[in-house]
Amino acid sequence: MGKQYYTITYGCQMNESDTERINGQLAELGYTEAPAMEAADIVILNTCSIRQNAEEKVYGKIGEIKRMKEKNPDLLVGIMGCMAQENKEKLIARMPIIDFVLGPYHIHDLKEVVTEALAGRRHVVRTRMNPERVKDYSELHAARKSHIFAWVPIMQGCNKFCTYCIVPYVRGRQTSRTVEDITGEVRQLAAEGYKEITLLGQNVNSYGLDFRDGTDFGALIRALDEVEGIERVRYMTSHPRDMTFAMVDAMAASPKVARHMHLPVQHGDNEMLRRMNRGYTIEHFMELLSYVRQKMPDIVVTTDLITGFPGETEEMHKATLRLLREAQFDSAYTFIYSPRQGTPAARMEDQIGDDVKHRRLQELMDVENEISLAKNRAMEGKVYPILVEGPTKQDESRWYGRTSGNKMIIFPKTEGVFVGDVRDALVEQGQTWVLKGRLV
């Protein structure tokens, strides 16, 4: 039996995408994917630092791997992703069972580092931020899981420095891939039969601004519109600050751009937004939102919220509850503020206690769940084209697909319907998180 790898991904879609390229490198070394961690010759954790609980999961997993390594000293263990960048040498000092630590800019080095580790060179740490590497992204073979959907990173890093966020420290400054490089990859994907791509960046709306030559996200959208074979273009995440009305026009003009926008607002109070360094006001956000909905009336808008940010009063919290009712998001990801070492908010004095944070989180979720349910119920009796994704995890006889707005519709498995087909689905029942229906 050949050698096998097992990679575990934590965190955002950018990490999901990086994992495919990590696995691609291992495949080039002759490894195949192990069915379970216990069967692997190399285990890689592609880690996330966004919140404390994300890091704790990784430390727990390393404990598990340590026991595996006691039984099998030849097992190779690598830590990659954002915790690798954040903790550098400290990881190995604390946990010497780790054989190598590679930051997000070092996927290119993986083959060399693994080859050397097999020859006995352990405890390698590479975390230099090298923006040049972003240009060579397409050189990295990606072992993609799906043959229909593909992640396409369009940029790396972030310049926004929201006061709570660790991303600018672990992913470095914003560096965009060129329009030619991205369209080249997408054309290739189309030729291979991919139907849907998701453009990835911390702030897709800042795409291209680092070139300082007029390139922006709107220009990329227009260029991708011309690639034949791709049915849908998704993108994540949008930042309210750099999203211009012209960009919204470019999205609205493109029939391929999915009618879903993930637009994190984070909070409903202007003083909180200022302390978070978000760079917009609620008034601006609402104006943008109404323009987006005016241009694309069928658009599904989702958001992120942070509760319990330092200094958040009961009044400020109520402002977020009010915002939810006003903005009518289709869904909201709500997070309890987690202090990240080295960020300005972690040093702010008026930190909020855990009990209050949990109560506020629950209140936000209660309000939003009601709205999500009402929105999904309003879809009952209507027909939506969906891109068929295949059987649900729980039940082989029930399949699902997604609308352009990224809503999941579950339907009974139907003769002659295949993964990747675009079919019309009638919504029969809207629930908080999913819709149930049948193909028509």
Q: How far is CA 106 from CA 109, 174, 207, 256, 405, in A?
A: 5, 16, 22, 33, 35
Instruction: List the single partner that 161 binds among ligand SF4, ligand SAH, ligand F3S, none, CB under 5 to 8 Å by kind.
Output: ligand SF4
Q: How far apart are CA 6 and CA 38, in angstroms?
A: 9
Instruction: List the single partner that 340 binds among ligand F3S, ligand SAH, ligand SF4, none, CB under 5 to 8 Å by kind.
Output: ligand SAH
**Residue 158 within binding range of ligand SF4, rule CB under 6 A:** yes
Q: How far apart are CA 383 and CA 331, in angstroms?
A: 21
Contact 365, 336 (CB under 8 A): no
Q: How far is CA 61 from CA 6, 47, 85, 136, 379, in A?
A: 13, 11, 18, 31, 41
Q: Return the residue of 87, 203, 303, 406 that touches ligand SF4, per CB under 6 A.
A: 203
Least distance between ligand SF4 and beta carbon 276 (Å): 8
Instruction: List the single partner that 82 binds among ligand SAH, ligand SF4, ligand F3S, none, CB under 5 to 8 Å by kind.
Output: ligand F3S
Amino acid at 421: D
Contact 423, 401 (CB under 8 A): yes
Least distance between ligand SF4 and beta carbon 372 (Å): 23
Measured from the CB atom, the residue of 55 and 196 that comes closer to ligand F3S is 55
Give the three-class secondary structure for 400. strand
Q: Return the residue of 14, 58, 236, 248 that touches ligand F3S, per CB under 6 A.
A: 14
Q: Which residues neighbour 304 within 8 Å (Cβ) at sequence distance 6 or greater?
A: 262, 264, 265, 266, 332, 333, 334, 335
For the CA atoms of the chain, what is the radius of gyration?
Answer: 22
Which residue ranges make up the site for ligand SAH (CB under 6 A)?
A: 50-51, 164-165, 202-203, 237, 239, 264, 266, 304, 306, 335, 337-338, 340
Instruction: List the single partner that 11 binds among ligand SAH, ligand F3S, ligand SF4, none, CB under 5 to 8 Å by kind.
Output: ligand F3S
Burial 302-339 (b: 16+ CB within 10 A, else e): bbebbbbbbebeeebbebbbebbeebebbbbebbbbbb
Q: How far is CA 277 from CA 153, 209, 325, in A?
A: 25, 19, 24
Measured from the CB atom, the residue of 205 and 404 that comes closer to ligand SF4 is 205
**Residue 387 within binding range of ligand F3S, rule CB under 6 A:** no
The rounded Cα 66 to chain-centroid distance in angstroms is 29
**Residue 410 within binding range of ligand SF4, rule CB under 6 A:** no
Least distance between ligand F3S and beta carbon 36 (Å): 24
Least distance between ligand F3S and beta carbon 28 (Å): 24
**Residue 239 within binding range of ligand SF4, rule CB under 6 A:** yes
Measured from the CB atom, the residue of 161 and 291 that comes closer to ligand SF4 is 161
Instruction: List the single partner that 337 binds among ligand SAH, ligand F3S, ligand SF4, none, CB under 5 to 8 Å by kind.
Output: ligand SAH
Q: Which residues ranging from 135 to 174 are in contact with ligand F3S (CB under 6 A)?
A: 166-167, 170-171
Measured from the CB atom, the residue of 181 and 304 that comes closer to ligand SAH is 304
Encoded one letter per residue, x for contact with ligand F3S by CB under 6 A and - for no contact, window 43-72 reads: -----xxx----------------------
**Residue 168 within binding range of ligand SF4, rule CB under 6 A:** yes
Task: Return the C-alpha torsion angle 266, 270, 271, 274, nearest 10.
Answer: 70
**How many residues contact ligand SF4, by CB under 6 A?**
10
Contact 219, 180 (CB under 8 A): no
β-partners of residue 199 are 152, 235
**Residue 274 within binding range of ligand SF4, rule CB under 6 A:** no
β-partners of residue 60 are none
Ramachandran category for residue 387: left, alpha or beta (phi over 0 → left; psi -120 to 50 → alpha)? beta
Instruction: List the single partner that 14 binds among ligand SAH, ligand F3S, ligand SF4, none, CB under 5 to 8 Å by kind.
Output: ligand F3S
Residues in the site for ligand F3S, rule: CB under 6 A?
11-12, 14-15, 48-50, 81-82, 166-167, 170-171
